[in-house]
Amino acid sequence: MKKALPAVLLLLASFVAQPALAYDEDVHFYGTYSMARFAGIKHEVAERIALAAQWMDESYMSDPTSLMFLPLTGVKKRRVLHFPSSRIVGGANVETQNEILGITNDSFQKSVIDSFVKYSGFQGDLNSLNFFTQTEEDHAFGSQMLMEGLKEGNLMKAAGGLHTLEDSFAHAGTAAEHGHADFWHWPDRPHASQAKYFRMTKAVFSALTAIRAMLPQEALDCSLKLKEKKGEANCSLSSAELAAAYEKIPAVRAAIAYDVLRDPIYVKVALKDFYNRAYQAKYLKMSDLEFDKLVDRLQLDGKKDAYEALEDLMHLIIDEGMKASPALKLDGTESSTILGGDLVDLNFMLIDMGRMKSADAHTARDFIEYMESFDADDAVDVAEEGRMFKGFVRSMAYELLAWNVPVPLSDTHRIERENDKGVIREKEMELRIAKMRDLNKFLFKIDVRLVNNQTKDDVGFSREMRKVPEAEAVVPFTPDVHYATFSLKEKYEWNVMIFKFLFPSLSEEDLLGLVDTGVKLKAFQWRMADYKKGRERINNSDSYWITKKARLLKLDHEYADVLLDMNSAFMAIFSNVVPIAKTYLSDIMNTHSIPEADNFAYRKIRRYSDARNCGNVKELLLPGRDFWTLDSLKIPHHPDSQMPNFLAR
């Protein structure tokens, strides 16, 4: 059975290698902050709530893309924290699932799965496992962490659960096993599905009012009255009233409807990126200044996206080429000048892009006939719009910007790929965040800005867990800007909290042991890399053969501790993992397979009130129980103050 484990891990590793993001920080941080403040929660508390909702993507322990020790962890945390769905498929559908996946009684997949499941100590019915989960909008698992936090009186946990609730809407219809890789960032863009966004805000306001009900009076801002209803404060409104009022605010609707892909600033950045790539590829001959002048002539006004703008730009280039070659007629018989020859090398570009064979591109007539072939009746098109080669230009614009500028999903564009590390994506997020910052400044007269986690990779995570001072956030200073981020202490608390949520049978000490294993493994990898570089350096030197041999022997001696007994080296590295391996696998299989029956209890006033009266949900910000307190958040408090009874509504 143990021999089957590597095969399972390899199979599951293919799932977690796919990108899987969520609503971005404009929603998780700035949007959550906006809703928390609107619900009547003070800035100091709303800021921490928003940080917890965002930190799910900031922390290596909880983000949806890192593997975390083993691939299986990545699959589980993705499903439980970002793509809420059940691991149980049920007898009515299990045969259909297994048939689709090729899991028959005598298949290799079935034998591997059986071996793994038995080794892990799975306590359920093997025939009920769901191997390809489907994220559902507002799934009960979306409220699992939230409800656990309320039961424990843990605000960080309850607020972190808002992320999962929000993601259940963003990721609806996609699988936890490989995320929304086929759609890239489209599920994350609020403007792409505004109705779904406001269904999400309705669910989040239900969660926020449940959190609000467990906060002390001092944590509330009851001076906020953004809804005209007999002067009633927002802190006393129900979740339904808050959601309806929030959606009606013109500034909110404008922020959510904001199509960043048509923003002239964004479009110009996309066009400039195109110029840089095309110039480097030797497609364009024009100077930087000439290109900027052409872009200025487009007079961008927010109605066209980058693809439409590039079409207009290419038509300008064609027009300029026609002006530069007055002898060139539409049939191209009087000149071999290439259209736009002073600005673009059309010959080289079409050949390089695989559009034409080198033998096909010689005269202007060749190009004109080729470009005309993209339109059914070019003469009619020119007569109607005064533009030639529309079909060709549209096709070229799409190909030149694809992968760099998002294309809306449609019945002809079903799979999206985007460059996450390019300047275009960076500008998109900058503009979207600025729009939400402006919304919060307008609503609450405060400029709150997120400082992203600067230690979110595996090395940074180990520093967080070892409480290395370098893992403390570096917070900038700008007048009138309130920067928000987690301190090192908060990062540590978050990591332990998430680990225990994923693996309730394991402890903080077990996590530290795993971190120690990671540090040792990283050191081993670096040591082996140094050894390899040392051998290459010696072998590539100009020394005599005998000198090289002596130096190689000396190098081998220096690294003998790992070269001579590799098995012992690995056993030493994984000494902390072996004792907990079976418990780890058992938690993977047996915890959070199905949601708790009371995950939606916070939405029913009578049921939630009973839970509060019975102590099943606990007060938040209480010293000795909650990580955050009024004192730690620097909120003045009064010993005799009572918790507001919002549940009476």
pLDDT class of 648 with cuts at 50, 70, 90? very low
Given a cut of 60, is residue 604 above it in pLDDT? yes
Q: Please give the average per-residue pLDDT across 208-223, as a whole number.
A: 97
Identify which has the larger pLDDT, 396 or 451.
Answer: 451
- Can you spell out the DSSP letters for 38-76? HTTB-HHHHHHHHHHHHHHHH-TTT-SS--TTSHHHHHH
The percent helix, strand, coil of the chain (3-state, each to 5) is: 60, 0, 40
pLDDT at 382: 45
Mean pLDDT of 395-416: 81
Q: What pLDDT sits at residue 118?
A: 66
C-alpha dihedral sign at 87, 92, 94, 98? negative
Query: What is the pLDDT, as a whole number, of residue 596?
Result: 92
Token pair, residue 392, equals 């060709």
Of the two residues 505 and 9, the one the predictor is more confident about is: 505
Identify the weakest region by mean pLDDT among 210-224, 230-244, 379-393, 521-535. 379-393
pLDDT of residue 563: 80
**pLDDT for the residue numbered 113:** 62
Lowest mean pLDDT among 344-348, 490-494, 624-628: 344-348
* Most confidently predicted of 148-152, 367-371, 376-380, 416-420: 148-152
Q: At 264, list the tokens.
A: 């002239």
Q: What is the pLDDT of residues 31-50, one digit of tens each?
A: 999 999 999 999 999 999 99
pLDDT of residue 447: 98
**pLDDT value for 564:** 74
- Backbone φ and ψ for 379, nearest 5 degrees, come out as -60, -40
Cα separation, 111 vs 114, in Å, equals 5
DSSP codes joined into one string, 533-579: HHHHHHHTSSS-HHHHHHHHHHHHHHTHHHHS-HHHHHHHHTTTTGG
pLDDT above 70 covers a percentage of the chain that reads 78
Of the segments 69-73, 258-262, 400-404, which one has the largest average pLDDT value?
Answer: 258-262
- For residue range 624-640, what is the model confidence (pLDDT) as tens digits? 999 999 999 999 876 55
- 644 pLDDT tier (thresholds 50, 70, 90): low
Cα dist from 520 to 187, 344, 391, 459, 514, whole Å: 38, 55, 58, 12, 10
Instruction: Give me the residue label for tokens 């095309």.
Output: 278
Contact assessment for residue 248 and residue 258, using Cβ atoms and an 8 Å cutoff? no
pLDDT exceeds 70 at position 112 = no
- Please check the confidence at residue 200 and state whether its pLDDT lies above 90: yes
- Tokens 């002390």, residue? 216
* Confidence band, pLDDT 50/70/90 cuts, at residue 253: very high
Give me the pLDDT at residue 114, please: 66
- As a whole number of angstroms, the distance between CA 11 and CA 16 comes to 10
Measured CA to CA, the distance from residue 545 to residue 539 in angstroms comes to 9
Q: How confident is the model at residue 392 (pLDDT cuts 50, 70, 90)?
A: confident
Q: Which of 150-159, 347-356, 443-452 has the lowest mean pLDDT?
A: 347-356
Query: Is residue 337's pLDDT more than 50?
Result: no
Amino acid present at 195: A
Question: Is the four-CA dihedral 424, 426, 432, 438 of positive or negative sign?
Answer: negative
For residue 332, the model assigns a pLDDT of 45
pLDDT classification of 77: cutoffs 50, 70, 90: confident
Number of DSSP helices (H) and strands (E) in the chain, helices first: 28, 2
Q: Give the per-residue pLDDT at 318.
A: 78
pLDDT at 565 over 90: no
Tokens representing 515 are: 């971190």
How many Å apart are CA 155 and CA 617, to the nearest integer?
12
570 — pLDDT class (breaks 50, 70, 90) = confident
Mean pLDDT across the chain: 84
Higher pLDDT, 530 or 180: 530
Write out pLDDT tens, residues 493-547. 999 999 999 999 999 999 999 999 888 888 888 989 999 999 999 999 999 999 9
Highest-confidence segment of 217-226, 313-322, 360-369:
217-226
Least confident of 228-232, 275-279, 374-378, 476-480: 374-378
Confidence class for position 8, pLDDT limits 50, 70, 90: very low
Is 9's pLDDT higher than 70? no
Residue 13 pLDDT more than 50? Answer: no
Distance CA 446, CA 256 (A): 19
